[in-house]
Amino acid sequence: IGEQVLLQCSFKSTAPITEKLIVDWTYRPLTGGQMETIFHYQSVPYPTTMGKFKDRVSWVGNVARGDASIAIQNPVMSDNGTFICSVKNPPDV
């Protein structure tokens, strides 16, 4: 609580990394409910502009190295839940 948390995501792809590579991070609260996209990456990072993670998610990954990690600033107990990292590198998924 109160410190930055790193959510690590690593991937391997048989296809070369191109500008078509997409990373999506989604979140579902521990109490259940709707999944929400909290981060999108395609050539450049697109942190969420709404919801509880607005202005708190930053890109720390490096797709050339197979890293799609993000960081969350100032975590609180209500952030607890399931975080899912999805990487698509066409034609490889």
- What CATH number is given to the structural domain containing 61? 2.60.40.10
Residue 64 lies in a domain: yes
Pair of tokens at residue 52? 């509880």
Q: Please, are residues 17 and 87 in contact by the beta-carbon 8 Å criterion?
A: no
pTM of the shown model: 0.92
Domains in the chain: how many in total?
1
Distance CA 42, CA 28 (A): 22
pLDDT at position 61: 97
Is 59 domain-assigned? yes
- At residue 58, the pLDDT reads 96
Has residue 93 been placed in a domain?
A: no
Residue 31: its pLDDT value, please? 86
* Per-residue model confidence as pLDDT tens for the chain (93 residues): 778 999 999 999 999 999 999 999 999 999 888 999 999 999 999 999 999 999 999 999 999 999 999 999 999 999 999 999 999 999 987
Is 22 inside a domain boundary? yes
- Does the residue 9 lie in any domain? yes
Q: Does any domain span residue 51?
A: yes
The parent domain of residue 80 ranges over 4-88
pLDDT given at position 33: 86
